[in-house]
Amino acid sequence: MLRIRAGSVHPVTAPPILDGAVLVDDAGKIAAVGPHPRVPTPPGARTLEFPDAALVPGLVNCHTHLELTHLAGRNREPGFATWIRRIRELKDATPPEEFRRSAEQGVRDCWTRGVTCVADTGSTGAVVEALARLGGRGIAYHEVFGPDPARCAASIAELEQALGWLSRFASSHLRLGVSPHAPYTVSEPLYRAVADFARREGLPVAVHLAESREEVQLVREGSGPFAEALRARGIAVEPRGLSPVEYLLQLGVLASGVCLCIHCVQVDAPDVRILREAGVAAAHCPRSNRAHGHGVTPVAALRAAGVRVGLGTDSVVSVEDLDLWAEAEAAGWQGEEALRMLTLEGARALCWDREIGSLEAGKQADLAVFPSTTLYRPLPPSAALLTVVAGRVVHEARAEIPGER
């Protein structure tokens, strides 16, 4: 068992508790939350004390590409279409072992920042293996690519083979999903086939959607740099006369079960209504959107419409680190509002809020301890003092722990 006392405890679903404590049982669940004197200390329990820190639910990162951790700072190509092409070149030049090292480092970097759950998209399976091996929590969406309609059957066969192999790693802490990447890398037949596959297998879906103006040009007008790149490969491109959101609705992707729509920058009021009616969630990545010059996601409109919204960092090729507090600051949130977005709202976006996202008896003990000022004043990237996943300590800054028994 584990008992953690802190200067303040922030359940999220209840007011903060000064000089509070959380007791974790030996099954990795929260047994008690409350003021320090009211939380028991069972014989033999490990006890940790952080008198000048804040104990919060573990943070939820709703969009990562952890297999790309080794590419941090290596792509400075101007123009989004060119940047995407360069990413593919760098991935093609990366050996499998490097992806495995990169994924493990990415998971550990998340833990260092108090992140206990990730929604990761990747094409190598390295993150699935890393999360399973290290005992992490997350949803791993296996990416599917194939802009050439003639390659649809081959892409689906590759997806089925990959998920057949990765399914051995799935557990209550690690869920598998599928991610037909984006309108500029996935053909219409492949979108339909992946949506059908996801429905048949009961898998969650994640899509990069309405991220850039170039994507809108491609889908609506059949023009722009993505269209030019596809035509250069001999792939026909036709204007759809639709927004990317309308396009994926037409193809059945948004109705394929639990769907996470990543970015959602280039959306208007009709798009927001579609997202609400489809019951999807949005992963908001403000720093990545800003770095690529995509614009600003209309988060207020999405939330007002009832669309579930969580925060994500995207990859470290787009942003310099995996600091979710910096994402909250970039989105304009601070204090308890920022904390709620980084925890319970992120868990809701991933349909995991019954188990994680708040400090309540019976929930999974996914916890983090931060310097208390982090919650009330935006700071430079700061590490967590302690991170716990399902009751197991996965990160601790030993020099910062003032008392332990």
Kindly give the pairing relationship between strand 205-209 and strand 259-263. parallel
Q: 211 an active-site residue? A: yes
Distance separating alpha carbons of residues 137 and 152, to the nearest angstrom: 31
Inter-axis angle of helices 96-112 and 126-134, nearest 10: 50
Spell out a b/e string for 189-212, using b for 16 or more CB atoms within 10 Å of the CB, else e.
bbbbbbbebbeeeebbbbbbbbbb
Residue 378 sits at the vertex; the CA angle it makes with 376 and 382, to the nearest 5 degrees, is: 105
Residue 395: partners with Cβ closer than 8 Å, 6 or more residues away: 108, 111, 112, 384, 386, 387
Token look-up 């053909």 returns 187
DSSP state of 306: T
Half-sphere exposure of 33 (CA within 13 A, CB side): 24
Q: Is 393 exposed, middle or buried (0-12, 13-18, 19+ CB in 10 A)?
A: middle
CB atoms closer than 10 angstroms to residue 213:
15
Distance separating alpha carbons of residues 343 and 353, to the nearest angstrom: 9
197-201: long-range contacts, CB 8 A cutoff, minimum separation 24: 197/156, 197/159, 197/160, 198/256, 198/257, 199/256, 199/257, 201/163
Q: Which entry of 211, 215, 246, 327 is annotated as an active-site residue?
A: 211
> What is the torsional sign of CA 379, 380, 381, 383?
negative
- Within 335-376, residue ranges assigned H as helices are 335-342, 344-349
Phi/psi at 136 (nearest 5 deg)?
-90, 170
What is the identity of the amino acid at 363?
A: K
Token look-up 């980084």 returns 342
Positions annotated as catalytic residues are 211
